């Protein structure tokens, strides 16, 4: 029996996550709070400089020192920690020839005072893997990396992945090479901004987009947003100066089939050349999901989901293919 990936894993819709990722920083600035004992908030406890000491363009080969080390075979108990893992995200490669996924790992145990039945969690980490469309040939890429993961893009012909994670609630984007080497592409600059990196359809370039909004304005359709776009090459090196445009409301990024990058608030839109050197006002695009060629849907509209306990084609909808359908 086929089950939608979002229904099976409890994920919000990807279009919503795309826009929310660009505005999530605004909420963090309006109501600071102490870290909570769940997988995402526990990322804030990683003060060992695993991410804080990184700089954009820095390269790492081995990671995982702050990741789970407890046994996986132990039962959940109040006396010890155990490691759990689950498939948290999976997408088609940009050419549809393979599936890439992210496993979420963390340590959990029962609290001494059990009120809600929830377990205590710590050390969230993620691990990248690829497999064939039929589920065979699964292999891991590189080491386990710290922090809870976000979105994933597999630009197979171009030879890299873009993996998002969350550091204290702020989005961080890395380029992963096939050998597992990571290169930091972008980080959220402050608590009232959010940054993400979206590969072009061919993977030849990437758009690094940062949206800054007034603190506490999350969800306000009249929110003014300053949107900065900078282009990177396939190796993750900067190839353009930032270009800044102004939009109002909920900002979403998307690439077009023609290879132009667009940011839109659904009432206005700006288009950028792949070089990132110019911006022009354009009509609001007919769709913003999928935002590029690597997503839940392949070029023919086949959607990935949980099928008989594994990752497979759950359904097919050609209208959902990249570029607003076939």
DSSP H helical segments within the chain, as ranges? 5-9, 14-30
25: pLDDT strictly greater than 60: no
- What digits encode the pLDDT tens for the residues 220-254? 677 889 999 999 999 999 999 999 999 998 899 99
Q: Two tokens at 161?
A: 């992945």
39: pLDDT strictly greater than 70: no
Report pTM: 0.80
Question: Any idea which of 14-23, 194-203, 236-245, 265-274 has the lowest mean pLDDT?
Answer: 14-23
What residues contact 103, with CB distance under 8 A and at least 6 apart? 85, 86, 87, 88, 126, 127, 129
Nearest to 25 by CA among 226, 230, 160, 204: 226
**279 and 270 Cβ atoms separated by less than 8 Å:** yes
Nearest to 149 by CA among 63, 231, 70, 251: 63
CA dihedral 287, 291, 293, 299 (to 10 degrees): -20
């Amino acid at each position: 029996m086929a089950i939608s990936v979002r229904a099976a894993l409890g994920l919000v819709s990807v279009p919503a996550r795309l826009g929310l990722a660009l505005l999530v920083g605004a909420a963090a600035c309006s109501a600071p709070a102490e870290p909570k004992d769940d997988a995402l908030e526990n990322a804030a406890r990683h003060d060992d400089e695993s991410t804080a000491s990184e700089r954009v363009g820095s390269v790492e080969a081995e990671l995982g020192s702050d990741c789970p080390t407890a046994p996986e075979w132990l039962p959940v108990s109040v006396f010890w920690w155990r490691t759990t893992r689950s498939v948290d995200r999976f997408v088609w490669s940009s050419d549809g020839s393979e599936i890439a996924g992210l496993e979420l790992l963390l340590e959990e145990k029962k609290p001494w005072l059990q009120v809600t039945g929830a377990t205590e969690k710590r050390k969230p980490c993620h691990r990248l893997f690829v497999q064939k469309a039929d589920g065979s040939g699964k292999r891991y890429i590189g080491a386990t990396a710290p922090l809870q993961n976000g979105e994933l893009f597999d630009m197979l012909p171009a030879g890299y992945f873009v993996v998002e994670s969350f550091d204290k609630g702020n989005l961080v984007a890395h380029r992963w090479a096939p050998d597992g080497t990571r290169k930091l592409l972008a980080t959220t600059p402050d608590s009232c901004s959010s940054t993400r990196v979206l590969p072009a359809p061919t993977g030849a370039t990437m758009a690094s987009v940062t949206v800054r909004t007034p603190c506490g304005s999350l969800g306000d359709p009249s929110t003014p947003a300053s949107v900065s776009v900078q282009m990177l090459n396939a190796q993750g090196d900067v190839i353009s100066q930032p270009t800044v445009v102004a939009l109002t409301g909920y900002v979403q990024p998307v690439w077009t089939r023609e290879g132009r990058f667009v940011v839109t608030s659904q009432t206005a839109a700006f288009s950028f050349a792949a070089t990132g050197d110019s911006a022009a006002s354009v009509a609001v695009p007919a769709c913003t999901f999928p935002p590029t060629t690597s997503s839940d849907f392949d070029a023919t509209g086949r959607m990935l989901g949980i099928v008989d306990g594994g990752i497979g084609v759950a359904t097919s909808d050609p209208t959902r293919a990249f570029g607003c359908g076939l």
